[in-house]
Amino acid sequence: MTPATPQRSYRYYDFIMAAFVVVLLCSNFIGAAKQASIDVPLFGSLTFGAGILFFPISYFFGDVLTEVYGYARDRRCVWAGFAALVFASVMALIVVHLPPSDSGYMKTYQPALATVFGNSWRIALASMLAFWAGSLGNSFVLAKMKIATEGRWLWTRTIGSTAVGELIDSSLFYVIAFYGIWETSDIVKVAFVQYVLKTGWEVLATPLTYQLVGFLKRRENEDYYDRDTDFTPFRIST
Protein backbone atom coordinates (compact mmCIF):
# COMPACT_ATOMS: atom_id res chain seq x y z
CA MET A 1 0.00 0.00 0.00
CA THR A 2 1.19 3.52 -0.82
CA PRO A 3 1.48 5.56 2.38
CA ALA A 4 -0.77 8.59 2.57
CA THR A 5 0.85 11.93 2.01
CA PRO A 6 0.93 13.75 5.37
CA GLN A 7 -1.03 16.98 5.62
CA ARG A 8 1.02 20.14 5.93
CA SER A 9 0.79 21.88 9.26
CA TYR A 10 0.65 25.67 9.46
CA ARG A 11 1.57 28.02 12.27
CA TYR A 12 -1.22 30.55 11.80
CA TYR A 13 -4.07 28.74 10.00
CA ASP A 14 -5.92 27.79 13.20
CA PHE A 15 -5.70 31.37 14.48
CA ILE A 16 -7.18 32.74 11.24
CA MET A 17 -9.98 30.16 11.38
CA ALA A 18 -10.78 31.07 14.99
CA ALA A 19 -10.81 34.79 14.14
CA PHE A 20 -13.08 34.10 11.16
CA VAL A 21 -15.65 32.23 13.28
CA VAL A 22 -15.55 34.78 16.12
CA VAL A 23 -16.14 37.71 13.76
CA LEU A 24 -18.99 35.84 12.09
CA LEU A 25 -20.76 35.04 15.35
CA CYS A 26 -20.29 38.48 16.87
CA SER A 27 -21.44 40.36 13.77
CA ASN A 28 -24.58 38.22 13.54
CA PHE A 29 -25.54 38.20 17.21
CA ILE A 30 -24.24 41.50 18.58
CA GLY A 31 -24.50 43.94 15.71
CA ALA A 32 -27.40 42.57 13.68
CA ALA A 33 -30.14 43.69 16.09
CA LYS A 34 -29.19 47.37 16.10
CA GLN A 35 -30.15 49.81 13.38
CA ALA A 36 -27.74 52.75 13.25
CA SER A 37 -28.15 56.03 11.41
CA ILE A 38 -25.55 58.58 10.36
CA ASP A 39 -25.65 61.78 8.31
CA VAL A 40 -23.59 61.53 5.13
CA PRO A 41 -22.71 64.77 3.31
CA LEU A 42 -24.57 65.10 -0.01
CA PHE A 43 -26.60 61.95 0.71
CA GLY A 44 -28.41 62.80 3.94
CA SER A 45 -29.33 60.26 6.61
CA LEU A 46 -28.09 56.70 6.03
CA THR A 47 -29.58 53.84 8.06
CA PHE A 48 -27.83 50.49 8.29
CA GLY A 49 -27.47 47.45 10.51
CA ALA A 50 -24.59 47.89 12.95
CA GLY A 51 -23.31 44.42 12.14
CA ILE A 52 -22.33 45.63 8.67
CA LEU A 53 -19.33 47.39 10.22
CA PHE A 54 -17.86 44.05 11.25
CA PHE A 55 -19.37 41.29 9.09
CA PRO A 56 -17.15 42.18 6.06
CA ILE A 57 -14.14 41.26 8.20
CA SER A 58 -15.17 37.63 7.64
CA TYR A 59 -14.76 38.21 3.89
CA PHE A 60 -11.39 39.81 4.58
CA PHE A 61 -10.27 36.63 6.36
CA GLY A 62 -11.85 34.50 3.62
CA ASP A 63 -9.75 36.31 1.01
CA VAL A 64 -6.60 35.81 3.07
CA LEU A 65 -7.34 32.12 3.67
CA THR A 66 -7.97 31.37 0.00
CA GLU A 67 -5.02 33.43 -1.26
CA VAL A 68 -2.51 31.82 1.11
CA TYR A 69 -3.89 28.35 1.95
CA GLY A 70 -6.26 27.62 -0.95
CA TYR A 71 -9.98 27.13 -1.51
CA ALA A 72 -10.29 23.81 0.36
CA ARG A 73 -8.94 25.21 3.61
CA ASP A 74 -11.15 28.27 3.36
CA ARG A 75 -14.13 25.97 2.64
CA ARG A 76 -13.32 24.16 5.89
CA CYS A 77 -13.49 27.49 7.74
CA VAL A 78 -16.81 28.35 6.08
CA TRP A 79 -18.31 25.07 7.26
CA ALA A 80 -16.94 25.70 10.76
CA GLY A 81 -18.59 29.13 10.72
CA PHE A 82 -21.84 27.67 9.41
CA ALA A 83 -21.88 25.04 12.17
CA ALA A 84 -21.19 27.73 14.78
CA LEU A 85 -24.11 29.81 13.45
CA VAL A 86 -26.43 26.80 13.58
CA PHE A 87 -25.44 26.01 17.16
CA ALA A 88 -25.75 29.64 18.25
CA SER A 89 -29.20 29.92 16.63
CA VAL A 90 -30.45 26.73 18.30
CA MET A 91 -29.00 27.81 21.65
CA ALA A 92 -30.62 31.24 21.35
CA LEU A 93 -33.98 29.64 20.49
CA ILE A 94 -33.84 27.35 23.52
CA VAL A 95 -32.64 30.00 25.96
CA VAL A 96 -35.25 32.55 24.85
CA HIS A 97 -38.11 30.07 25.13
CA LEU A 98 -37.15 28.55 28.46
CA PRO A 99 -39.74 29.67 31.08
CA PRO A 100 -38.20 32.60 33.00
CA SER A 101 -38.28 32.77 36.78
CA ASP A 102 -40.81 35.03 38.45
CA SER A 103 -38.24 37.51 39.76
CA GLY A 104 -38.49 41.22 39.10
CA TYR A 105 -35.18 41.17 37.26
CA MET A 106 -36.35 38.51 34.81
CA LYS A 107 -39.56 40.42 34.08
CA THR A 108 -37.33 43.16 32.67
CA TYR A 109 -34.59 40.96 31.22
CA GLN A 110 -36.71 38.38 29.38
CA PRO A 111 -38.31 40.85 26.89
CA ALA A 112 -34.89 42.37 26.18
CA LEU A 113 -33.39 38.91 25.66
CA ALA A 114 -36.20 37.97 23.29
CA THR A 115 -35.74 41.22 21.34
CA VAL A 116 -32.00 40.73 20.83
CA PHE A 117 -31.78 36.94 20.37
CA GLY A 118 -35.31 35.95 19.42
CA ASN A 119 -34.89 36.33 15.67
CA SER A 120 -37.50 34.51 13.65
CA TRP A 121 -36.52 31.21 12.05
CA ARG A 122 -36.79 32.88 8.64
CA ILE A 123 -34.20 35.54 9.42
CA ALA A 124 -31.86 33.00 11.05
CA LEU A 125 -32.16 30.69 8.05
CA ALA A 126 -31.58 33.57 5.63
CA SER A 127 -28.46 34.63 7.52
CA MET A 128 -26.94 31.16 7.53
CA LEU A 129 -27.67 30.31 3.89
CA ALA A 130 -26.56 33.72 2.63
CA PHE A 131 -23.29 33.52 4.56
CA TRP A 132 -22.57 29.98 3.34
CA ALA A 133 -23.29 30.68 -0.33
CA GLY A 134 -21.66 34.11 -0.36
CA SER A 135 -18.47 33.01 1.39
CA LEU A 136 -17.95 30.00 -0.85
CA GLY A 137 -18.72 32.12 -3.92
CA ASN A 138 -16.13 34.64 -2.75
CA SER A 139 -13.50 31.93 -2.27
CA PHE A 140 -14.25 30.24 -5.61
CA VAL A 141 -13.92 33.47 -7.60
CA LEU A 142 -10.68 34.44 -5.86
CA ALA A 143 -9.13 31.01 -6.43
CA LYS A 144 -10.03 31.06 -10.13
CA MET A 145 -8.84 34.64 -10.59
CA LYS A 146 -5.52 33.80 -8.94
CA ILE A 147 -4.88 31.15 -11.58
CA ALA A 148 -6.07 33.42 -14.40
CA THR A 149 -3.80 36.29 -13.29
CA GLU A 150 -0.89 33.94 -12.41
CA GLY A 151 -0.81 35.38 -8.92
CA ARG A 152 -0.49 39.01 -9.98
CA TRP A 153 -2.71 41.95 -9.06
CA LEU A 154 -3.94 40.73 -5.69
CA TRP A 155 -6.23 43.74 -5.36
CA THR A 156 -8.26 42.69 -8.44
CA ARG A 157 -9.18 39.33 -6.97
CA THR A 158 -9.79 40.46 -3.39
CA ILE A 159 -12.14 43.21 -4.54
CA GLY A 160 -13.59 41.24 -7.44
CA SER A 161 -14.30 38.14 -5.37
CA THR A 162 -15.82 40.20 -2.56
CA ALA A 163 -18.06 41.98 -5.06
CA VAL A 164 -19.41 38.61 -6.21
CA GLY A 165 -19.64 37.07 -2.74
CA GLU A 166 -21.37 40.08 -1.17
CA LEU A 167 -23.82 40.24 -4.09
CA ILE A 168 -24.81 36.62 -3.44
CA ASP A 169 -24.97 37.24 0.32
CA SER A 170 -27.04 40.43 0.22
CA SER A 171 -29.41 39.14 -2.46
CA LEU A 172 -30.13 35.84 -0.73
CA PHE A 173 -30.49 37.29 2.75
CA TYR A 174 -33.03 40.00 1.97
CA VAL A 175 -35.06 37.87 -0.43
CA ILE A 176 -35.28 34.89 1.95
CA ALA A 177 -35.83 37.00 5.07
CA PHE A 178 -38.24 39.66 3.82
CA TYR A 179 -39.84 38.69 0.49
CA GLY A 180 -43.59 38.98 0.90
CA ILE A 181 -43.15 41.08 4.06
CA TRP A 182 -41.44 44.17 2.66
CA GLU A 183 -42.23 45.87 -0.60
CA THR A 184 -39.97 44.56 -3.36
CA SER A 185 -38.64 48.06 -3.97
CA ASP A 186 -37.61 48.32 -0.31
CA ILE A 187 -35.83 44.95 -0.46
CA VAL A 188 -33.86 46.06 -3.51
CA LYS A 189 -33.01 49.45 -2.00
CA VAL A 190 -31.81 48.12 1.36
CA ALA A 191 -29.93 45.21 -0.21
CA PHE A 192 -28.16 47.60 -2.59
CA VAL A 193 -27.05 49.92 0.22
CA GLN A 194 -25.76 46.99 2.26
CA TYR A 195 -23.94 45.61 -0.77
CA VAL A 196 -22.22 48.91 -1.55
CA LEU A 197 -21.14 49.40 2.06
CA LYS A 198 -19.79 45.85 2.44
CA THR A 199 -17.89 45.95 -0.84
CA GLY A 200 -16.56 49.42 -0.09
CA TRP A 201 -15.19 48.09 3.19
CA GLU A 202 -13.09 45.57 1.24
CA VAL A 203 -11.69 48.31 -0.97
CA LEU A 204 -10.60 50.28 2.09
CA ALA A 205 -9.07 47.16 3.65
CA THR A 206 -6.90 46.41 0.60
CA PRO A 207 -3.62 47.74 2.11
CA LEU A 208 -4.18 45.62 5.23
CA THR A 209 -4.93 42.59 3.05
CA TYR A 210 -1.59 43.03 1.28
CA GLN A 211 0.24 43.26 4.60
CA LEU A 212 -1.35 40.16 6.14
CA VAL A 213 -1.12 38.06 2.96
CA GLY A 214 2.54 38.94 2.53
CA PHE A 215 3.31 38.14 6.17
CA LEU A 216 1.58 34.76 6.06
CA LYS A 217 3.13 33.72 2.75
CA ARG A 218 6.58 34.41 4.12
CA ARG A 219 6.07 32.80 7.53
CA GLU A 220 4.09 29.78 6.27
CA ASN A 221 6.19 29.32 3.12
CA GLU A 222 2.91 28.83 1.25
CA ASP A 223 1.27 30.44 -1.77
CA TYR A 224 -1.39 27.97 -2.85
CA TYR A 225 -2.78 27.69 -6.39
CA ASP A 226 -6.02 25.72 -6.79
CA ARG A 227 -5.14 24.07 -10.10
CA ASP A 228 -6.26 20.56 -9.09
CA THR A 229 -8.82 21.46 -6.45
CA ASP A 230 -12.24 19.83 -6.18
CA PHE A 231 -14.45 22.91 -5.88
CA THR A 232 -17.57 21.13 -4.65
CA PRO A 233 -18.95 23.12 -1.71
CA PHE A 234 -20.17 19.97 0.05
CA ARG A 235 -16.89 18.79 1.54
CA ILE A 236 -15.08 19.55 4.77
CA SER A 237 -11.80 17.74 4.21
CA THR A 238 -8.87 19.50 2.58
> Across residues 51-70, what is the average pLDDT?
92
Band (pLDDT 50/70/90 cuts) for residue 4 is very low
- Nearest CA-CA partner of 36 in 61, 53, 19, 21: 53
Q: Where are the domains of the chain?
A: 13-220
Quick: pLDDT tens for 148-179: 999 999 999 999 999 999 999 999 998 998 88
Band (pLDDT 50/70/90 cuts) for residue 63 is very high
Band (pLDDT 50/70/90 cuts) for residue 33 is low
Amino acid at 121: W
Quick: pLDDT tens for 185-226: 888 888 888 898 889 998 999 999 999 999 999 999 999 999
Per-residue pLDDT, 237? 86
Structure pTM?
0.90
Of all residues in the chain, the percent with pLDDT exceeding 90 is 63
Higher pLDDT, 122 or 71: 71
| Residues 6+ away with beta carbon under 8 Å from 121 | none
Has residue 80 got a pLDDT over 70? yes
Per-residue pLDDT, 1? 52
Per-residue pLDDT, 197? 86
Distance in angstroms (rounded) separating the CA atoms of residues 127 and 177: 8
Domain 13-220: CATH class, spelled out: mainly alpha
Band (pLDDT 50/70/90 cuts) for residue 181 is confident
The DSSP bridge partners found for residue 208 are none
